[in-house]
Structure 1
Amino acid sequence: MLSDVLGLTPEEAGIYHNLISVASATPAELAESVGCEADQVVRILCMLEGRGLAARSLGHTTRFVASPPAAALRALLVQRQNELKLAEIELDSLDEIYRAATLGRGVAEVVDVIHGTEAIRERVGHIQLGARKEIMNFVKAPFYSPGNMTDDTVIARGVHYRVILERAMLDEGAPSFDEIAQARASGEEVRVADTVPLKLFIVDRELAIVPLLGSASAAKAGALLVHESSLLDALIALFESEWEKATQFATSAGALQNAPAIDDLDAQILSLSLTGLTDQAIATQLRTSLRTVQRRTRHLMDVAKVHNRMQLGFQAARLGWLETQQDGNTRVRTQGSRT
């Protein structure tokens, strides 16, 4: 949209759109067309004239004509592109200054305290949008921010997401299986652990947010913002250790590397079963019946040639059924991430 890309206000863009749709027009005619005061239209036309988007008619100076969009707008686009390049150079310079300053941080400056649910949500959103390479996330209740598990605009830039969910959240249906499937479809890599030690959000191995679970109330909520330090290194090591131990998660048969000819529902039941969910919880997550879950589990045991669920889990791991394709190319989706 012109108002977004070229820096025009919605009113200015509206006047220009109307002007290019007619041979020429007076301010009064445009005011009637867009529902604005004539004085406001005159000011906008003068601005458009100054930016080369409009000109006065040669035959009648009180009438205005639009400049050819291909020529006029391309010049503005080039100008905005140059401004963005200069902004990127300035950003890189500021980032270098910031990194140099962090090297001199004292002990008291390694950790900042964030107070309040809204402040936590905003800070997580800001550092997530600024991510360049990777986001690592421990997810456990309670959520401070609703929404999807990751940000599609961040993923579109090539940022990798890795998320470890606490199994109790699946028992409670938050997030739902559908949300996890959507997250994985967007490129997220999800694993499940019996428990995660804390809530944690790490961006580019440079910053971490650790929400404090002492109280879920907005008034008392708090979090720690950890900068580059040995403490951050320890949090990264903790995540990597838990990641290795967590259960891989498949939402379709096609996501499994070495599985036999089983369908998507079989793969989903197998994944959820190996996270420790009960048959009833699995049926609820997959919106199917308890009887179907039990019948499909029996089928999986027959395929694996085992006699009980413990053997099924062992055999599935031994045969490599749980080696998901995504784990070979780690990319993991919270229009605001969950914290």
Structure 2
Amino acid sequence: MLGAIGLDEAQESAYRVLVAVGAAEVPDLAHRLALPEADTERALRRLERQGLAARSSTRTGRWVAAPPGVALGALLTRQRHELEQAELTAALLAQEYRVEADKPAVHDLVEVVTGADAVAHRFNQLRLGAAEEVCALVTGRPNGVSGTDNEAEERAASRGVMYRVVVEREVLTLPAGIVELSIALGRDEQVRVVDTVPTKLVVADRSTAMVPLTGRGADPAALVVHASGLLESLMGLFEAVWREARPLRLRAGGAGAAMAEEAVPGPDAVDLQVLSLLLAGMTDASVAKQLELGLRTVQRRVKGLMELAGVTTRLQLGWHAYERGWVARD
């Protein structure tokens, strides 16, 4: 929790123990932290430089914690000041950039990024810098441009950034595909499925997009597109795929959510998972594998859904599922 003010895990743990016990010698502290004495002493010296710990004046070899209200308050004040300076610098640079970009040259509208590390870094910059919305097309083929990253997306969701993601059906068959999509749906992201998507694509705030340039086996490279006619075309491509895609519905809220759904007459949470995956184009066997159910269990649930809807074919079941609101296109 104190990493934001520059403490690593060992330093934070050492400070917490000192605060709890009042004072301690290095061997005792090392034992409590389960760390070598050399590492413990190194952490204490770093705490000393930051004003969070000091050597005891009454007993050689003992260390005491500085009062948290004073010591941490000073560090927080310094961090706030540095952050304010960084924000001011960022605002000035953004203003300079806008002035220079009023009439951008054609070659400034796109960037070519090469190398796995550079592509991944630029991609994270794109998503972490989004303020309103991230739109993504996701394929089942790995490369540097990906539409899902739980840690980054959680941070974005905490800032109120909306995600709209279209995945191709192959993603559902990947080992962690269903789990990651369930987590995404649990963050209230909108996820839809199509048979295939034309390309991987990420668009942040309708102002910057990123698409891969290389195919499988080649060194990663990507194209970063800024505000231009090309960007508008890429956004139009996303919207066209989004309109044709089918919404994905999976249980993402745990047992409580399952109980809430089962209290209402109609399909239970597992039924809706089965139905959503079938409407995404998966076979009974694939659904059984992804949900860790038996094939006969899946088929029995489908039969139960057909009886509940009062239909005799799976085609009719899909139509009734939309009519009854079990799944939705919008």
> Does the CA contact (< 8 Å) of 1:54 and 1:66 recur in 2?
yes
Per the alignment, residue 186 of structure 2 pairs with 185
Question: Which range moves more in the overlay, 311-320 or 291-300?
Answer: 311-320
Per the alignment, residue 292 of structure 1 pairs with 297
- 1:1-339 equivalent positions in 2, closer than 5 A: 1-2=1-2, 4-7=3-6, 35-36=37-38, 47-48=49-50, 51=51, 54=54, 57=57, 66-144=65-143, 149-150=149-150, 151=152, 152-170=154-172, 172-173=173-174, 175-212=176-213, 214-219=214-219, 221-252=220-251, 261-323=266-328
- Aligned partners of 1:42 and 1:263: how far apart in 2? 56
- Aligned partners of 1:289 and 1:45: how far apart in 2? 57
Amino acid at match of 1:98: Y
- Aligned partners of 1:46 and 1:284: how far apart in 2? 56
- Aligned partners of 1:99 and 1:236: how far apart in 2? 22
Deviation string, structure 1 residues 6-42 (Cα, Å, up to 9, x no partner): 33577876776676567778xxx659966349x9899
Q: Kindly tell me: are residues 31 and 5 of structure 1, through their superposed partners in 2, closer, same or farther at Cα, counting changes over 3 Å?
A: farther
TM-score, normalised by the number of residues in structure 2: 0.79
SS of aligned partner of 1:244 = helix
Deviation string, structure 1 residues 59-111 (Cα, Å, up to 9, x no partner): 79999865422223212212222322332232233223323333322112211
Q: Kindly tell me: are residues 46 and 201 of structure 1, through their superposed partners in 2, closer, same or farther at Cα, counting changes over 3 Å?
A: closer
- Aligned partners of 2:44 and 2:199: how far apart in 1? 60
TM-score, normalised by the number of residues in structure 1: 0.77
Q: Kindly tell me: are residues 33 and 316 of structure 1, through their superposed partners in 2, closer, same or farther at Cα, counting changes over 3 Å?
A: closer
> Does the CA contact (< 8 Å) of 1:18 and 1:30 recur in 2?
no
- Structure 2's unaligned 5+ residue stretches are 31-36, 252-256
Question: Which range moves more in the overlay, 237-246 or 10-19?
Answer: 10-19
1:129 CA displacement: 1.9
- Aligned partners of 2:155 and 2:7: how far apart in 1? 23
Amino acid at match of 1:227: H
1:313 CA displacement: 1.4
- Aligned partners of 1:135 and 1:234: how far apart in 2? 16
1:200 CA displacement: 0.2
Q: Kindly tell me: are residues 190 and 20 of structure 1, through their superposed partners in 2, closer, same or farther at Cα, counting changes over 3 Å?
A: closer
> Does the CA contact (< 8 Å) of 1:149 and 1:183 recur in 2?
no
Q: Kindly tell me: are residues 249 and 62 of structure 1, through their superposed partners in 2, closer, same or farther at Cα, counting changes over 3 Å?
A: closer
Q: Kindly tell me: are residues 303 and 23 of structure 1, through their superposed partners in 2, closer, same or farther at Cα, counting changes over 3 Å?
A: closer
- Aligned partners of 1:234 and 1:93: how far apart in 2? 31
Q: Kindly tell me: are residues 237 and 32 of structure 1, through their superposed partners in 2, closer, same or farther at Cα, counting changes over 3 Å?
A: same
- Aligned partners of 1:167 and 1:13: how far apart in 2? 45
- Structure 1's unaligned 5+ residue stretches are 328-339
- Aligned partners of 1:296 and 1:177: how far apart in 2? 19
Deviation string, structure 1 residues 199-223 (Cα, Å, up to 9, x no partner): 10111212111013x521253x321
- Aligned partners of 1:218 and 1:102: how far apart in 2? 33
Aligned residues: 313
- Aligned partners of 1:147 and 1:117: how far apart in 2? 16
Q: Kindly tell me: are residues 85 and 265 of structure 1, through their superposed partners in 2, closer, same or farther at Cα, counting changes over 3 Å?
A: same
Question: Which range moves more in the overlay, 193-202 or 96-105?
Answer: 96-105
Tell me the percent identity: 38
